[in-house]
A and B are shown apart, each in its own frame.
Chain A
């Protein structure tokens, strides 16, 4: 009978297509909206992601990774002397204006890294070498930034064409030359424009000798030292704030910079609310659409289930037939929807906009929701069929 149940489902291609479209559309909506939401939210802790270091140290007043309250350079020595610290390197971040060759200004995020250790340097360079940063007036720009800062010209077909920056190109920051010696691949940020990496010492020139440039310190624990315990020791010894760099935002860990950043934006900005309503709407529409499509499928078949019931099929068999149909349709619709969400997400990532992070939690939650909707529709169908009088099959 289950084979027949499936054949009933697959028998009408047009109706099946409608049903799957409804389920896929709602799965897509649910997965897509939540993934984009978490993608955008995960952009908030991009610095932790791009600048890899086991421990971050900041001014005690700092609440999240995009927040810079510069410390004194001497704080670096205090941290280095804490028991268990293998090394500590300075990190500078600031927003600056870059003046391009054509005279246009672009907002950039300057990142100054320690020239000795290159701690916090980008992991992947698509052009150039990190060591070239030791040459005078040199910078490394991220791929996306190279696009944003690129030169716009007219192509042969009259359309605008962007010629991205490449190694050897130059621009100016506060009248000082910046020569590109590398292009790197890093994750995009929520607040930051193009990332321009240079050495920590050179940032003092680019920022026109700002009194304090030490935004963060990156710390490596000695072998065998627990980062969480070391954080506590650094805080106790120096009065500064120390963070771990794990990006698990779903934990209760209080030391994680990524987690604190994520939830800081959650609490202090309108992003969760404005996107949250879109997510809630997506969920709501998704539930309504898939519930409605599956339910109307059940209603259309009610007459035939009544006939099967009259012919002597027990409710157990009919219930299982409906469940087989519901879960098959649910799984197919889910697969299609999440597949589409992934494909669209990929395309978006390629265009750089908007971010898309499908956490496993989103995948499983969408699956659970779609199957839950199918289950509820099937149960309503089962109740309907159980109420329908077998005698009704005799009446037209």
Chain B
């Protein structure tokens, strides 16, 4: 009993309700969503399209504020924080990998990776050095000065991974990171996420409905109709036809 549960939990949501619009057009995206992820693990959030995965991810990332419920990330309660406090929280603790890469096309590969560091106020020199080292880790040494659009989809997503990890965030959030990629490239990308992001203190949450990458997860949380249906440790326990 040396490690109390509270210390290993990285993300915890309780009783989250999230709806969009009101009246006739009201859509309930999350209802009583309870979710937990631990430090040092890579957890996947899976489920059919429209079940609320992206919404839950946004709540955890502090880019959406739910109508009810509590959100706790690394001991910090996000509900009740102001926009500025949320922004500052994201700046310090979060890394993002998006489905559509979201790299800035007019900046070089290196400059794209520097963005999170510069937002944190790092000096140009420090940012350049760290971004270079990170690009080397994702196997893009020599491509620093090119434009993202000159790279393949897989390479662009690697740039995104470098950008998401360069400032060593404690929470890495990936929304459908492989859905724009073919099977082999997707597997390579997930392998890279696993290799580079694993650390005892970091938590990685990956939203996907790509069952081919389920094997990279430590645990899988299955969502249905805005809530977590169950959490399993092995993809084989899921009824994949259902997804």
Contact = CB atoms under 8 A, between A and B. Distances in A.
A393 to B, nearest CB: 6
A312 B86 CA distance: 8
Interface in B85-110: 87-92, 94, 96, 98-100, 102, 104-108
Interface of B: 54, 57-58, 61, 63-64, 84, 87-92, 94, 96, 98-100, 102, 104-108, 111, 114-116, 118-120, 124, 147, 175
A390 B107 contact: no
Nearest to B116: A311
A169 B140 CA distance: 81
Chain A binding surface, main DSSP class: helix
A307 B106 contact: no
B144 to A, nearest CB: 14
A73 B102 CA distance: 86
A394 B92 CA distance: 19
28 contacts: A1-B119, A4-B114, A4-B115, A7-B108, A7-B111, A11-B107, A11-B147, A12-B106, A304-B104, A307-B104, A308-B115, A308-B119, A309-B87, A311-B90, A311-B96, A311-B115, A312-B88, A312-B89, A312-B91, A312-B116, A312-B120, A314-B88, A317-B119, A391-B58, A394-B57, A394-B58, A394-B63, A394-B98
A229 interface: no
Contact of A8 (B92, B96, B102, B104): B104
Contacts of A396: 99-100
A391 B63 contact: yes
Nearest to A3: B124
A8 B116 contact: no
A310 B63 contact: yes
Contacts, number: 88
Contacts of B57: 394
A304 B98 CA distance: 12
Nearest to A304: B104
Interface of A: 1, 3-4, 7-12, 15, 303-304, 307-314, 317, 389-391, 393-396
A311 B54 CA distance: 16
Given A310-B61, A310-B63, A313-B87, A393 B105 contact: no
A4 B107 CA distance: 8
Nearest to B124: A3
A318 B234 CA distance: 43
A346 B108 CA distance: 41
Contact of B102 (A7, A304, A313, A391): A304
Contacts of A389: 63-64
A353 to B, nearest CB: 44
B122 to A, nearest CB: 10
Nearest to A305: B104
Contacts of B54: 394-395
B84 A314 contact: yes
Q: Most B CB atoms within 10 A — which of A304, A312, A313, A390?
A: A312
Contacts of A310: 61, 63, 90, 96
A4 B63 CA distance: 24
B194 to A, nearest CB: 21
B64 A311 contact: no
Given A312-B87, A389-B64, A394-B57, A11 B106 contact: yes
Given A11-B106, A394-B99, A313 B119 contact: yes
Nearest to B58: A391
Given A4-B114, A304-B102, A393 B119 contact: no
Contacts of A394: 54, 57-58, 63, 98-99, 175
Contacts of A317: 119
Contacts of B118: 1, 4
B41 to A, nearest CB: 22
Contacts of A1: 118-119
Contacts of B87: 309, 312-314
A381 to B, nearest CB: 15
Contacts of A312: 87-92, 94, 116, 119-120
A7 B63 contact: no
A375 B215 CA distance: 52
Q: Among the interface residues A1, A307, A311, A389, which one has the most CB atoms of the partner chain B within 10 A?
A: A311
B175 to A, nearest CB: 5
A12 B105 CA distance: 8
A307 B57 CA distance: 15
A4 B111 contact: yes
Contacts of B99: 394, 396
A334 B99 CA distance: 40
A307 B94 contact: no
Among A12, A304, A309, A389, max chain B CB count under 10 A is at A304
B102 A393 contact: yes
